[in-house]
Amino acid sequence: MSIEIKNLKHIYMPRTPYERLALDDVNLTIPQGKITAIAGHTGSGKSTLIQHLNGLLEPAEGQVLVDGVSVIGKKPENKKARRSVGMVFQYPEHQLFEETVAKDIAFGPRNYGCSEEDIQQRVKAAMDFVKLDYDTYKDRSPFQLSGGQMRRVAIAGVVALETPYLVLDEPTAGLDPVGREELMNGIVKLHKKKNNTVIMVSHSMDDIARFADHVIIMAHGRVLLEGTPAQVFSREDFIHQAGLEVPRVTAIVKALKAEGVAVATDVYNMEDAVKAIWQALAKKKAGGAGKC
């Protein structure tokens, strides 16, 4: 089972002078139990696309099926499909509203009718995943925290819903490097533990190359490219067409190759780049030794 997006079209403000076609015939299958990253230039339709995954927006044409069931509709099965997709919006900290951190995180599970015991356990587990110490932060006002800590509280509120699908719209935007790293590690840890399906919008090609199993590149409301990080980032022409760049390590090995270093260029993350550079150096040393 998975999320299937079929012939999806979205038009903002239809039949007005401001009409805007934001998604045009998008067809995708989001693989179950994997991390899928969505990238694309600003305005390419990423946020519009993900807001269709739990029925927040209604398609002009086409449909979104979660485990085979449409997210649009009033039947209990449609509601269940919508509820199985947890959504973290861009800048989710703007939506905090409760008096304490624990109450804010508990809001969703409480709304779903979970028992108090279950709620407390979910709040603790969610705070652990976003690296906020329960005893230190549970009674604090979310509005007295730093921006990065507020982001963690907001994400924990969605994590506490324990949905099989977790959608995040640029979760690390605006965080410092340590905050970004901790948050990404938390998302990956949660994914490994729960085997949930993660769909994440990201502007960082480095993060995508490191963490994603599947990549979707959007351009002008359409899917330009789709595949594994290696498949997608090997198409530098398409990546540039979408207004994006390849991961920084790929650019470095390509620059080395252009300078005459015999290094493999099909590397997209730091670990593989280090290996490729060592191999190139070892080859050069062996070649050099033979000549003396």
Ligand X SMILES: Nc1ncnc2c1ncn2[C@@H]1O[C@H](COP(=O)(O)OP(=O)(O)OP(=O)(O)O)[C@@H](O)[C@H]1O
Q: Which stretch binds Mg ion (CB under 5 A): 40-48, 65-73, 94-102, 238-246?
A: 40-48
Residue 202 CB, nearest distance to Mg ion (Å)? 11
Residue 133 CB, nearest distance to Mg ion (Å)? 31
Residue 184 CB, nearest distance to Mg ion (Å)? 18
251 neighbors 63 (Cβ within 8 angstroms): no
Residue 90 CB, nearest distance to Mg ion (Å)? 5
Q: Is 129 in a helix, a strand, or coil?
A: helix
- Residue 290 CA: distances (Å) to CA of 66, 125, 276, 279: 61, 59, 21, 17
Residue 125 CB, nearest distance to Mg ion (Å)? 29
> Given the complex with ligand X, which of 2 and 47 has the nearer CB atom?
47
Asked whether position 86 contacts ligand X by CB under 6 A, the answer is no
Residue 291 CB, nearest distance to ligand X (Å)? 52
Indicate which single residue of 2, 4, 9, 12 sits in contact with ligand X (rule: CB under 6 A).
12
Instruction: Count Cβ atoms below 10 Å from residue 134 Cβ, excluding itself.
Output: 16
Residue 46 CB, nearest distance to Mg ion (Å)? 5
In total, the chain counts a number of residues equal to: 292
The closest of 225, 185, 180 to 202, measured between CA atoms, is: 180
Phi, psi values for residue 28, rounded to 5° = -150, 150
Query: In the beta sheet, which residues pair with residue 88?
Result: 168
Indicate which single residue of 2, 47, 51, 63 sits in contact with Mg ion (rule: CB under 5 A).
47
> Given the complex with ligand X, which of 88 and 126 has the nearer CB atom?
88
**Which option in Mg ion, ligand X, none does residue 48 bind, with CB closer than 5 to 8 A by kind?**
ligand X
Pairwise CA distance, residues 83 & 81, whole Å: 5
Q: Which stretch binds Mg ion (CB under 5 A): 41-49, 52-60, 123-131, 255-263?
A: 41-49
Binding-residue total with ligand X (CB under 6 A): 12
For 90-171, where are the alpha helices, taking DSSP H only? 101-111, 116-129, 134-137, 147-159
Residue 108 CB, nearest distance to ligand X (Å)? 23
Concatenated DSSP letters for 191-248?
Answer: HHHH--EEEEE-S-HHHHHHH-SEEEEEETTEEEEEE-HHHHHT-HHHHHHTT----H
Pairwise CA distance, residues 104 & 150, whole Å: 11
Instruction: Count Cβ atoms below 10 Å from residue 36 Cβ, excluding itself.
Output: 22
Instruction: Count Cβ atoms below 10 Å from residue 167 Cβ, excluding itself.
Output: 26
Asked whether position 40 contacts ligand X by CB under 6 A, the answer is yes
Asked whether position 178 contacts ligand X by CB under 6 A, the answer is no
Indicate which single residue of 9, 32, 43, 226 sits in contact with ligand X (rule: CB under 6 A).
43
Binding-site string for ligand X from residue 13 to residue 32, where x marks contact by CB under 6 A and - marks none: x------x-x----------
> Given the complex with Mg ion, which of 104 and 170 has the nearer CB atom?
170
Binding-site string for ligand X from residue 44 to residue 63, where x marks contact by CB under 6 A and - marks none: xxxxx---------------
Which residues contact Mg ion (rule: CB under 5 A)?
A: 47
Which residues contact ligand X (rule: CB under 6 A)?
A: 12-13, 20, 22, 40, 42-48
